[in-house]
Amino acid sequence: MDDVVIHTPRLPGEKQWEFDDLLNLRRSVEGACLRLGAIENVPKHFYEGAMLGLPERDEQIECMQNTIRNMGKAGVPVFGYHWVPNSVWRTTPAKDRGDATATSFDYDEAKDRPLTHGREYTAEEMWDNYTRFIKAVAPVAEEAGVRMALHPDDPPVESLGGIARIFGSFEAFKRGTEIVDSDYNGLEFCQGCWAEMGEDVCEVIRYFGKKIFYVHFRDVVGTVPKFRESFIDSGDTDMYKAMRAYKESGFKGILIPDHGPNMVKDIPWSYIGRGYAIG
């Protein structure tokens, strides 16, 4: 392990992150003889209004531009983000080998849950909002030298809690990356989500190739509408073939386990399970 991906670091700032704090974060990682490979996610409220097209949208886009400029100055090479105002959804957990607990999703259990944001948001709206956002932010990221890496919707179903989930297919990512064609506009390749979609994971890796900025190297059993998470050696995907596909596509980024089953007597965030995956 050489690199660290930091997930939503607790930095000061209610609307954006500042240069000094980001620099200190990178230095603290380097102080442990590691590299800061990416920051994954800002607090959702930084750009929730931009995702939903609310009145604060333009201010939030401006703040996001500032955060990205500050990341660039502080030497943060990759910024992972998502386009899901109402988060990852799971239903009743399942079991994997060794009595480990794995999260799972069954659309039948989730489809009738109440609206999360007061009304329905259509796919057309979510695309309009995304288009406006990425057109404003990607050029700033390019200038700042920060590669923006978009995570798929998890789970990749049409809509949950009234909000359309637009990044849940190959076609969607093709469309998303073509809005601004830039070496700084690419994918946080959550391999588990691509498996959930039922896409041919290796083919998708080969298609996007160098547009994949880093990988969530995890797997699942099943596809939407019903799946469960798995160990990297108990899921549906041939992970060795996937690794070959990354190598052959010219991918030079980071693989991290993202998340996986909680082993018996594991600790929060299933660090034992992650240690197992890395090993």
Residues that bind Mn ion (CB under 5 A): 190, 216, 258
Shortest separation between residue 6's beta carbon and Mn ion, angstroms: 15
Shortest separation between residue 80's beta carbon and Mn ion, angstroms: 9
Phi/psi of residue 100, each to 5°? -70, 150
Beta bridge partners of 185: 148
Shortest separation between residue 150's beta carbon and Mn ion, angstroms: 11
Which of 1, 5, 121, 19 has the alpha carbon at shortest distance from 67? Answer: 19
The residue among 96 and 229 lying less far from Mn ion, judged by its C-beta, is 229
> Counting beta carbons within 10 angstroms of the beta carbon of residue 70, is it exposed (0 to 12), middle (13 to 18) or buried (19 or more)?
buried
- Which pair of structure tokens corresponds to residue 248? 């052959």
Beta bridge partners of 147: 78
Shortest separation between residue 258's beta carbon and Mn ion, angstroms: 4
The residue among 40 and 106 lying less far from Mn ion, judged by its C-beta, is 40
Measured CA to CA, the distance from residue 266 to residue 188 in angstroms comes to 27
The residue among 16 and 104 lying less far from Mn ion, judged by its C-beta, is 104
The residue among 142 and 167 lying less far from Mn ion, judged by its C-beta, is 167
Shortest separation between residue 30's beta carbon and Mn ion, angstroms: 25
* Residues near 20 by beta carbon (within 8 Å), at least 6 away in sequence: none
User: Angle, to 10 degrees, between the axis of helix 201-208 and the axis of helix 239-248?
Assistant: 10
Shortest separation between residue 144's beta carbon and Mn ion, angstroms: 24
- Asked whether 57 and 193 are in contact (CB, 8 A), the reply is no
* Residues near 262 by beta carbon (within 8 Å), at least 6 away in sequence: 100, 101, 102, 270, 272, 273
Measured CA to CA, the distance from residue 191 to residue 204 in angstroms comes to 10
The residue among 105 and 142 lying less far from Mn ion, judged by its C-beta, is 105
The residue among 81 and 130 lying less far from Mn ion, judged by its C-beta, is 81
The residue among 8 and 122 lying less far from Mn ion, judged by its C-beta, is 8
DSSP type of residue 133: H
Shortest separation between residue 59's beta carbon and Mn ion, angstroms: 29
**Residue closest to Mn ion, measured at CB:** 190
Q: Which amino acid is at 165?
A: R
Which of 47, 106, 110 has the alpha carbon at shortest distance from 82? Answer: 47
